[in-house]
DNA sequence: ATGGTCGCGCAGCGA
């Protein structure tokens, strides 16, 4: 079973690229972020034509997450499943696909370390941790895939000196990510690829992609029962090339279902 | 050169 995550930076602007990618990557489950669509504008029929069930949690101009699946799509939950106040932004959804509980997550960017949005980011990550702790079991197969807007280590940024005291690399953000790992999640891509210079996002500006100056912020975090069954992991840089690309590349893992 | 490019939506913000 191939599971992918991709921040598409507007599904309306990216639909042709997404359809093309589904055709050659042949994922079974896809978590999308930044669809920037209202639910009424989500192109479910286009995905159905390609063999995918889908569910979307959107708000319109900003944010928005979706899950596509050709191995079943049940028990959909939009947002946090706790009894707290609804998240004001559409950044999280859950579904069960092929026996795996899947989340598509678009973690807040943070903007600046002294910004309200940065505090929202840290609180959002803690709320996600509490949801895992209260509602899920790290001995069951589960993946929380998405744009975390955090580079887990300095090996995940092109030049750590460019990010001193900046968002995406700050100690509190990395601690919040580590708290998810401490609960029982594994960075599945990093487990299979130890080298640095492997990124999933590159700024559109200043030729960053062609200079190989990016960050690895799109992660497939999985519980051990799923992580130990991963036999392949890839960042598809091809999808960042060509006409009208997203600024993120898709990241995918292949899971040996017999080992789940 | 202290910016650069996108997307949204029609100014300027967010990433």
At A197-226, the pLDDT tens digits run 999 999 999 999 999 999 999 999 999 999
Instruction: Give the pLDDT of residue A167.
Output: 96
A159 is catalytic: no
Taking the CA of residue A72 and the C1' sugar atom of nucleotide B3, their distance in angstroms comes to: 47
CB A108 under 7 Å to nucleic chain B: yes
Catalytic annotation, pick one of A28, A52, A118, A147: A147
Instruction: Give the pLDDT band (50/70/90) at residue A165.
Output: confident
Taking the CA of residue A246 and the C1' sugar atom of nucleotide B8, their distance in angstroms comes to: 15
Instruction: Give the pLDDT of residue A50.
Output: 98
Report chain A's mean pLDDT, rounded to a whole number: 97
By DSSP bridging, strand A100-106 and strand A142-147 are parallel
A106 is catalytic: yes
CB A109 under 7 Å to nucleic chain B: yes
What are the angstrom distances between the C-alpha of A162 and each of A105, A117, A165, A169?
A: 26, 21, 9, 10
Summarize the confidence of residues A157-182 as an average pLDDT. Answer: 95
- Homologous superfamily (CATH) of A2-259 is Endonuclease/exonuclease/phosphatase (3.60.10.10)
Taking the CA of residue A207 and the C1' sugar atom of nucleotide B4, their distance in angstroms comes to: 8
Tell me how crowded residue A120 is: count the other CB atoms within 10 A of its CB. Answer: 17
Nucleotide nearest to A117 (CA to C1'): B14
Catalytic annotation, pick one of A52, A87, A106, A187: A106
Instruction: Give the pLDDT of residue A24.
Output: 98
Taking the CA of residue A35 and the C1' sugar atom of nucleotide B12, their distance in angstroms comes to: 21
Angle at A231 between CA A219 and CA A224, to 5 degrees: 60
Instruction: Give the pLDDT of residue A135.
Output: 97
């Amino acid at each position: 079973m191939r599971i992918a995550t991709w921040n598409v930076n507007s599904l309306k602007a990216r639909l042709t690229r997404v359809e093309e990618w589904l055709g050659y990557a042949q994922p079974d489950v896809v978590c999308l972020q930044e669809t920037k669509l209202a639910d009424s504008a989500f192109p479910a029929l286009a995905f159905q034509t390609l063999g995918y069930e889908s569910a979307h949690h959107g708000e319109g101009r900003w944010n928005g997450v979706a899950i596509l699946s050709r191995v079943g799509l049940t028990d959909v939950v939009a947002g946090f499943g706790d009894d707290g106040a609804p998240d004001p932004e559409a950044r999280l959804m859950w579904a069960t696909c092929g026996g795996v509980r899947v989340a598509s997550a678009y973690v807040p960017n943070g903007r600046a370390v002294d910004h309200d949005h940065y505090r929202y980011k840290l609180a959002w990550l803690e709320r996600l941790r509490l949801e895992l702790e209260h509602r899920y079991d790290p001995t069951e197969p589960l993946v929380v895939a998405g744009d975390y807007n955090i580079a887990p280590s300095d090996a995940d940024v092109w030049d750590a000196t460019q990010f001193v005291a900046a968002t995406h690399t700050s100690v509190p953000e990395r601690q919040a990510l580590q708290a998810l790992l401490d609960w029982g999640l594994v960075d599945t891509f990093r487990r299979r690829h130890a080298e640095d210079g492997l990124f999933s996002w590159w700024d559109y500006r200043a030729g960053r992609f062609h200079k190989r100056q990016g960050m690895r912020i799109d992660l497939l975090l999985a519980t051990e029962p799923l992580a130990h069954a991963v036999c392949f992991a890839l960042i598809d840089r091809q999808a960042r090339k060509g006409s009208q690309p997203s600024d993120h590349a898709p990241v995918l893992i292949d899971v040996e279902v017999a080992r789940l």
